Homo-oligomer: A and B are copies of this chain.
Amino acid sequence: MTAEEADAPATRGRARKYTQVLGVIYQAAVEVFAADGLAGASTQAIADKAGLSKAQLHYYIESKEALYRQVLQDIINDWIGVFGFSDEAFGPRKVLTDLIQRKMLFSFEHPLRSRIFAAEMMRGAPVIREMMGTSKQRTNQAAAVIQNWIHRGLMDPVDPMLFLFHLWAVTQFYADHAAQVAYFRDVPVSDEKDRRYLTEQVTEFLLKGAGVR
């Protein structure tokens, strides 16, 4: 589970020179942060995993916190693409199905980063909060879209915000608890066909829960 993820961020458009080493550091940081959290992570552990000396590591990074922030920032960037609604005109069934698919895919392919994000959230998002005014606006917009669909009778009159929570909770579960999922189901999550199965089940469950037509 620890190293299962080829989880480099989209480094297009960064400085050229460092990139390779930075990628290694980044990956190491993701693994260590996912395993031990920000407070529990040690630069020594990150350096070891990256095959660098601590001094070398600190040449590339500004500080442990900065590295953590960078990881978070990348996650957030990817997140926007994942969690954004496509055109609401397509109706809830298509839009939400797409969204759930993207979210599940992200859970499967980036469990470690997904977990870092969740852990940060669970702590009350102290670091994220000072990085960005939390996307309350964006979330409210999404809720409004859902409210609109409800008005138009395209889905049951659920509380839009709660529905978004539930969607997030269920899909996130497959990233956060990959180990448990595999353990209880006796199926390695990485299996491609199984991923499709899980995605279908989750989609159906969520859509049905909200009475999406």
Contact = CB atoms under 8 A, between A and B. Distances in A.
B183 A173 contact: no
A166 B162 contact: no
Interface string A195-213: 0001001100110111100
Given A124-B179, A183-B136, A205 B166 contact: yes
Which range holds the interface residue count of chain A? 35 or more
A169 interface: yes
A118 B124 contact: no
Contacts of A184: 136, 139, 161, 165
Interface stretch (A9-17, A36-44, A75-83, A86-94): A36-44
Nearest to A2: B124
Interface in A38-65: 38-41
A166 B177 CA distance: 12
The listed residue with most B CB atoms (<10 A of its CB), out of A40, A139, A163, is A40
Interface of A: 1, 35-41, 115, 118-119, 121-125, 134, 136, 139, 156, 158-159, 161-163, 165-166, 168-170, 172-173, 176-177, 179-181, 183-185, 198, 201-202, 205-206, 208-211
Given A37-B39, A136-B184, A169-B170, 4 more contacts: A139-B184, A158-B201, A205-B209, A209-B209
